[in-house]
Amino acid sequence: MKQRNTSRNSRLFSVAKKYLPGGVNSPVRAFKSVGRDPLFIAKAKGEYIYDVDGNKYIDYVGSWGPMILGHAHPEVVAAIKNAASNGTSFGGPTENEVEMAKLVRKMMPSVEVVRMVNSGTEATMSAVRLARAFTGREKIVKFAGCYHGHFDSFLIKAGSGATTFGTPDSPGVPKELAAKTLVAEFNDIASVKTLFADNPGEIAAVITEPVVGNMGVVLPRDNFLTSLLEIAHADGALLILDEVMTGFRLARGGAQEIYNIKPDLTTFGKIIGGGLPVGAYGGREDIMRMVSPDGPVYQAGTLSGNPLAMAAGLTQLRILYKQKSVYKQLDRLGARLEKGILKNLEDLGMQYQLNRLGSMFTLFFTERKVVDFNSALTSDTSKFTRYFSEMLQRGIYLPPSQFEAAFISSSHTEKDIDKTVAANYESLKATI
């Protein structure tokens, strides 16, 4: 196989490293764990991404989730252009913010009142502050391997880049604050019960990704989420679902629609911004009314509800709301990919694990079923590294870490999927 020319990418990266930590503005994209230089992206359209050397790839990163309709969707781009021509930021309310709140509530009825912010991290840290204020308690429960952004309280046994780079507990987090984060095992209700038994009346909230994306894709076992809600409520604590990845992706109403669960608070990011920087948190009205200026819990932002971000996010959400069939289409593509990869694994006599729900998937290089952080960590990351590079050479752009989710968009076609399955066969073979 002819190697792709990526010389301009590499030249840019060597300059970037002088001026930016690791040469990037967010760690995982540095490709450090896959032992090669990152691609510098020149442009993207539909399901394709193009690097600065002119190489074209089928993209399964999708900006880590937001691009559910594919890149540069014409309606989203038009909405951004139109909004920009009317001014890029006012620091005052706009009509689209009201429309956005109404649509979010329609699509996800548990979100009675919502506050827009600028990132998923902002959303989760604000939701936790609110839960602490509402309950008058300070401790929170999170799950090993879940990642809720880079706020201090969450950088404890954190997944995503924190795990990829071997720093699940980041230095710089005050010990006193870290001690208020209790860690349970995903899919292990007994571990949650133990924490509540040991800390009665002290836990403000349990926060979880309902379907984990940040240790790779890990699905909740039957009743896991409803049991969490029951246990939390029995002790007077809240349940926060972090739907930054899953919200509006797995279904119109997110993972909470699929698993039929009504959390107290939900956090969002990614899809809700249509590819622009956005986050949001929302939920029960009695809790959300504590947020300033209705209540005393302070949280603010000059760019919150930014008109460009609202235009992009609202346009994307409206398309998803109107075209119900999009989720069926995504699931069909996901199922086709799953079938193809499972056949490849069987033909090659490999017992690796493919976890998938709808348009989110991860191939784990382990023979153990991946149901939690410990089982995810049994993956052979050196095999993943080889596989990742082989796929890239064949024009398939996957997340550059074993501990991330890959995403399919509605721009992907059956032909793309079949090409990916063929590349998967050859790439897996190369790891033997």
- Active-site hit among 139, 270, 352, 372: 270
- Active-site hit among 37, 242, 264, 372: 242
Between 14 and 26, name the residue whose CB sits nearer to ligand HOZ. 26
**Annotation marks residue 327 as catalytic:** no
**Annotation marks residue 294 as catalytic:** no
Residues that bind ligand HOZ (CB under 6 A): 26-29, 64, 160-161, 214, 404
Between 146 and 391, name the residue whose CB sits nearer to ligand HOZ. 146
Least CB distance to ligand HOZ at residue 313 (A) = 18
Between 33 and 96, name the residue whose CB sits nearer to ligand HOZ. 33
**Annotation marks residue 147 as catalytic:** yes
Least CB distance to ligand HOZ at residue 65 (A) = 8
Least CB distance to ligand HOZ at residue 46 (A) = 21
- Active-site hit among 48, 57, 60, 147: 147
Between 59 and 264, name the residue whose CB sits nearer to ligand HOZ. 59
CA 262 to chain centre: 20
Least CB distance to ligand HOZ at residue 242 (A) = 11
**CB environment 315-325: b (16+ within 10 A), e (fewer):** bbbebbeeeee
Least CB distance to ligand HOZ at residue 61 (A) = 9
Between 27 and 283, name the residue whose CB sits nearer to ligand HOZ. 27
Between 29 and 157, name the residue whose CB sits nearer to ligand HOZ. 29
Least CB distance to ligand HOZ at residue 19 (A) = 17
Question: What sign does the dihedral 410-414-420-425 (CA atoms) show?
Answer: positive
Kindly list the catalytic residues: 147, 242, 270
